[in-house]
Structure 1
């Protein structure tokens, strides 16, 4: 395996050419899904079709279908392949991706009959499930040869999950900048402290305002707060499923049944920082109130396409 100039693992040969975007069509996958899931399929199917139509409209509005056709290695790095169930999952950080990876790990290990494996206590006891982002058992699309990447994209069911862009940003700040994380201390926290003339050895936390200022100055490009449309490239990769963290219960129930897993296996509720409340609408509002009107306008501009593409405009 060669290394690209981006530092991402990449197979030999050029990146695969992605076909131009066409309108999403009802496929045999939908028929399979409708036969497998006995819940309120019509409502769920309609919501999926609506999300794809809005996505297509946004792609055309911002002329995102006419860019370079080759698969971006940063995108291929975020795509995880599950050959056993013919699934490709785009991992959007801070949109429930960790727990989805835990489910996919059980699928890969053929352990879905152990329905209590994803209980919080069992996750805590399992080093593999706890350190889900570093396991070699989940293979990234970029590790496949270029032509095989295209074949997999054309034939596997592709899914991604989204989250309100501002709520996702606040969640990333709370997780990565308010907790001890050596990698983020070196890459982001120390440079921010230096810019605001704070001692690098000080225990004083980087404020949300300082964090936002650095993002707006484009000094902090990281997948945890990178716009979601850049993480998954849905204007050229036609995702079969677009889930939302806000409708997680409904989306997860339909997906898990379509995967053929036992009824007792559910999307886990595991949370890394157990003593803290999850980032929600109220917490996000409290953080945004610390920003100036200009900062909020600039943030919206940064995430404007996400707000439009994934239909979060009504949240503003």
Structure 2
């Protein structure tokens, strides 16, 4: 009878042993493989060393049966071995012969493994950079020795038509001043999603990239400051000031000369019928002495009649250009589009740091969980190209061009392109 009980005891103990062995295997091997193949799962930290009871047994390796049974049957840190009478210590964790689990997990795509400390440091660096940009703007606007056109005028003196680049989102309290050739298409898309100003099948757009480009640049899509007069009459300026005081205001800028190159490439190197009729044809007549020109861009391109970059610079420097009409928005100075000395911007982003600035701004607006800024292709018009583009431009023209855009260089912290302005 006693022998039968002893057999049942050992059978039960063996069953417990096998169950715990399976648990140990799953904890130490199975979950490791599971986490490696699950991109959205949080990595597990190392298990604490066992302290007692069955929980302690799970942390031990199954190939050390004596220690395993000691822990299972006993309760202390060290137990007497019933066979030898010696005390045995729990075995140390085995040395790993493969790469650390954390290193393997870093190879999982689609997961941000940035440490909290690194993320905090990065966030602090971005906040510091943003504060420097805003401080530079405010200091220069307050500096009486730094002068440029329209700097001293009051907000009330800005003509209504010059406020057409300030897009308002009343749902989130945001004002965006868009600057063409500075990722404005995608920022306009973001503003459409936030303000829910455009519907698709009766529902507001949720994904910025789903919004067709032709709708993005349709002026009727956006609520801009220049439309306030029609809505609110004589109260419009007061309402603008209230919103400017309470809303978060932002803009994105770019190296002024690189922006000019980008504008030239997109509007004159490609067949653009509107820009051919309005700008290219008059430039060719005035600066190439051509009297008989094709009526369409496609015909002009087939005939090899294209505006050169030198023609474009000559056009910008020509005093007649501004007398006929203000600069087109694609090459108008940022200070004339966004009025940085009359509007105290809360965020100044740059195309050169677009990804980081966009993420920081969406966090600031508390909409980063709702949408992401559309991924941008690598900018094909790089600052390193300036030397090549301006190589054929006379030095005197380069110096005059810098004077024309100097306020944008200085206000937004872009270095003076000395190599282009000296012999």
**Given the two structures, how large is their TM-score scaled by the length of structure 2?**
0.58
- The equivalent residue for 2:355 is 249
Q: How does 1:71-82 map to 2 (within 5 A)?
A: 71-82=158-169
Once the 2 structures are TM-superposed, how far is the Cα of residue 130 of structure 1 from its aligned partner?
4.4
Once the 2 structures are TM-superposed, how far is the Cα of residue 148 of structure 1 from its aligned partner?
1.4
CA contact (8 A) 2:250 2:348 kept: yes
Once the 2 structures are TM-superposed, how far is the Cα of residue 46 of structure 1 from its aligned partner?
1.4
Distance 1:192 1:158 in 2: 37
- 2:188 paired with 1:101: yes
Secondary structure, counterpart of 1:139 in structure 2 = coil
Q: C-alpha offsets along residues 24-76 of structure 1, whole Å, 9 cap, x if unaligned? A: xxxxxxxxxxxxx9773322221122112221232223246532442332431
CA contact (8 A) 2:193 2:205 kept: no
CA contact (8 A) 1:177 1:189 kept: yes
Secondary structure, counterpart of 1:62 in structure 2 = coil
Q: 1:72 to 1:44 in 2, by over 3 A?
A: farther
- The equivalent residue for 1:92 is 179
Q: 1:261 to 1:53 in 2, by over 3 A?
A: closer
Structure (1 or 2) with the greater helix fraction: 2
Which of 222, 242, 256 matches 1:165?
256
Which of 346, 350, 353 matches 1:240?
346
Secondary structure, counterpart of 1:226 in structure 2 = coil
- The equivalent residue for 1:67 is 153
Higher relative contact order (CA 8 A, sep 6+): 1
Once the 2 structures are TM-superposed, how far is the Cα of residue 265 of structure 1 from its aligned partner?
3.4
Structure index of larger Rg? 2
- The equivalent residue for 2:44 is none
Once the 2 structures are TM-superposed, how far is the Cα of residue 183 of structure 1 from its aligned partner?
2.4
Distance 1:248 1:277 in 2: 10
- 2:265 paired with 1:174: yes
Distance 2:178 2:277 in 1: 24
Q: 1:300 to 1:63 in 2, by over 3 A?
A: closer
Once the 2 structures are TM-superposed, how far is the Cα of residue 85 of structure 1 from its aligned partner?
0.9
CA contact (8 A) 1:108 1:137 kept: no
Secondary structure, counterpart of 2:388 in structure 1 = helix
- The equivalent residue for 2:137 is 55
CA RMSD, aligned part only? Answer: 2.7
Q: How does 1:143-154 map to 2 (within 5 A)?
A: 143-144=227-228, 145-154=236-245
CA contact (8 A) 1:115 1:265 kept: no
Once the 2 structures are TM-superposed, how far is the Cα of residue 139 of structure 1 from its aligned partner?
0.8
Q: 1:163 to 1:294 in 2, by over 3 A?
A: same
Q: 1:277 to 1:147 in 2, by over 3 A?
A: closer
- 2:384 paired with 1:282: yes
- The equivalent residue for 1:8 is none
Q: 1:284 to 1:140 in 2, by over 3 A?
A: same
CA contact (8 A) 1:115 1:264 kept: no
Secondary structure, counterpart of 2:175 in structure 1 = strand
Q: Structure 1: which 5+ residue stretches go unaligned?
A: 1-36
Distance 1:315 1:97 in 2: 25
Q: 1:297 to 1:240 in 2, by over 3 A?
A: same
CA contact (8 A) 2:192 2:205 kept: no
Secondary structure, counterpart of 2:217 in structure 1 = helix
Which of 113, 129, 141 matches 2:225?
141
- The equivalent residue for 2:276 is 185
How many pairs were matched up? 268
Q: C-alpha offsets along residues 184-235 of structure 1, whole Å, 9 cap, x if unaligned? A: 2222111101111234213211000001001001416211111111111101
- The equivalent residue for 1:230 is 336
